[in-house]
């Protein structure tokens, strides 16, 4: 049976920070309880905006080339895999070199683990776990034709520019039609950075899955029935 691998799309604007992707990802037995999807607050001091990050599966992977142990391999479907266990020496080169900040080092088992596009599922014709559980389609697995028809207001691109480096990826990101390349202009972004980021990062570590603590109902103040449950307008329902 030949399985046709489809395309993976990230639509950052749709992420609502629910972290269902991370919870679903953690179910997989190849990385046993550790999520490989990372959902980050984009500017935690200023806004609740979040963005999901999975491995972009670069066509020329910086992680694999910077690995001193030859432990990171790309398969015939363009999927960049977690490091090979017998070889990986957990040196952290891949983690630090990856332009998307994706690989995770497990010091205890001396291995780098990362998103492998749910190889066990996609190789059997299924969607990756994160795409299955994402409620808004921010992470989506489909054919290119279906995606173009379903989301005509955006276009998928797979080229990134980090300073002088152009990176081409197997994964696509949805952007406005006049954009051809995702330019990450960090000198300008860093100059515009504001807010107590360190505090935000610490809070994120403290509350990894729940997000930041908001007003919590106490025992004395029971949650009113129906609170927080709204109804979707037609446009919103269509959007979902």
Partner 1 sequence: MKELTRLSKMFAEQLHWGALAKATIATALLGVTIILGSRNLANFDAALIGYTFASLFAAFGIVYRYSVWLTKPPTRMYWRRGWQLFLSPRLWKNLRSPRILAEAVVRKIVVQDFVWHRSPERWAGHMLIAAGCVLAALVTFPLVFGWVHFTQGAITPEPTYIIQVFGFGVREIALHGLESWFTFHALIVASVLVIPGVMIVMYRRMLDTGAVAVQRFSRDFLPLILLFAVAFTGLLLWVSYEFLEGYFYTALAQLHAWTVIGTLIYLPFGKLFHIFQRPATLGIAYYKSHLSELEPACCPLTGEEYAPAVQTKDLTEVLHELDFDYSAVGGPPETPPWNEISPAGKRMLIGRAHSKIRNDRFD
CA 84, CA 124: separation in Å to the nearest integer? Answer: 22
Q: How far is the CB of 15 from partner 1 (least distance, A)?
A: 9
Can you name the residues that pair with 10 across neighbouring β-strands? 139, 173
The contacts of residue 61 (CB under 8 Å, 6+ apart) are 72, 74, 80
Helices (H), 93-143: 93-97, 119-122, 129-133
CA 118, CA 36: separation in Å to the nearest integer? Answer: 10
Question: Which residue's CB is nearer to partner 1, number 109 or number 228?
Answer: 109
Q: How far is the CB of 151 from partner 1 (least distance, A)?
A: 7
> Residue 183's CB: how many other CB atoms inside 10 A?
12
Question: Which residue's CB is nearer to partner 1, number 59 or number 217?
Answer: 59
Question: Which residue's CB is nearer to partner 1, number 70 or number 168?
Answer: 70
Question: Which residue's CB is nearer to partner 1, number 6 or number 31?
Answer: 31
Q: How far is the CB of 7 from partner 1 (least distance, A)?
A: 19
Q: How far is the CB of 230 from partner 1 (least distance, A)?
A: 20
Radius of gyration of the chain (CA): 19
Question: Which residue's CB is nearer to partner 1, number 7 or number 99?
Answer: 99
CA 162, CA 164: separation in Å to the nearest integer? Answer: 6
Q: How far is the CB of 120 from partner 1 (least distance, A)?
A: 3
């Amino acid at each position: 049976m030949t399985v046709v691998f489809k395309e993976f799309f990230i639509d950052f604007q749709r992420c609502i920070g629910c972290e269902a992707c991370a919870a679903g990802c953690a179910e997989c037995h190849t990385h046993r309880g550790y999520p490989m999807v990372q959902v980050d607050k984009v500017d935690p001091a200023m806004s609740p905006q979040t963005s999901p990050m999975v491995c972009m599966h670069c066509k020329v992977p910086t992680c694999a080339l910077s690995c001193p142990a030859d432990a990171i391999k790309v398969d015939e479907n363009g999927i960049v895999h977690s490091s090979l266990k017998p070889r990986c020496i957990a040196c952290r080169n891949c983690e630090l070199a990856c332009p998307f900040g994706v690989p995770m080092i497990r010091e205890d088992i001396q291995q780098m683990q990362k998103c492998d596009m749910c190889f066990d599922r996609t190789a059997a014709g299924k969607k990756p776990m994160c795409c299955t559980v994402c409620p808004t389609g921010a992470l989506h697995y489909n054919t290119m034709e279906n995606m173009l028809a379903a989301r005509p207001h955006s276009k998928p691109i797979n080229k990134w520019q980090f300073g002088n480096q152009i990176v081409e990826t197997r994964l696509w990101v949805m952007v406005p039609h006049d954009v051809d390349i995702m330019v990450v202009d960090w000198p300008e972004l860093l100059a515009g950075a504001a807010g107590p980021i360190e505090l935000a990062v610490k809070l994120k570590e403290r509350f990894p899955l729940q997000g930041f603590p908001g007003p919590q109902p106490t025992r004395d103040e029971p949650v009113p029935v129906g609170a927080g449950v709204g109804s979707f307008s037609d446009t919103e329902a269509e959007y979902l």
